[in-house]
Amino acid sequence: MTGADPHMQLSSYLKEVLQMTDHMGSHIYKKHCVPLWQMLSSLKSETMLHLKRDPFVGISKEYKRPLQEEHKTLLTSFFTKSSADAFLLEMHEFLVLVLKNPKATDTFKPYWGLKDTVVSYMERKDLDVPPEVDEFFPEEILLAQYTDTWKFSVHVRQERNQR
């Protein structure tokens, strides 16, 4: 069983419960933890959506404008050409870490393009932007439609995965 005491130090947990050597534990870096956090955080938000709860309570209403039908069509087309799972994780991270700030609208204007903003965020993190994002993600979608874009994208991805 991998449960153990939730307050146990990570290094002790790795050694005593998972029976990994000290040498293994000393090679765990932030670069290993961030993707795990991204995935778990995104799954939490997806679960909240499934339970009909708003995962983005602290986000300004300026980023919660609805997508237009033409945008939904463009996003659906994008996801038929690409899985873009990594991009969705980066979108979610930006949403919960950056746009959740009460003063986010002072820096990240709702009329800015979503794609350009997230791509710039990824580049500042020194991440490679998937070529299909550059090529196919709709330029017309604005930060004002951020939460709806993420929710709709998750819905499209889930439908695609169920086929």
Per-residue pLDDT of the chain (163 residues; tens, 9 = 90+): 456 677 777 667 767 776 666 555 556 666 777 888 899 999 999 999 999 999 999 999 999 999 999 999 999 999 888 878 889 999 999 999 999 999 999 999 999 999 999 999 999 999 999 999 999 999 999 999 999 999 999 999 888 878 7
Among candidate residues 34, 38, 10, the one with its CA nearest the CA of residue 24:
10
Neighbours of 79 (CB within 10 A): 21
CA torsion 130→124→56→66, rounded to 10°? -60
For residues 142 and 137, what is the distance between their CA atoms, to the nearest angstrom? 12
Record the pTM. 0.83
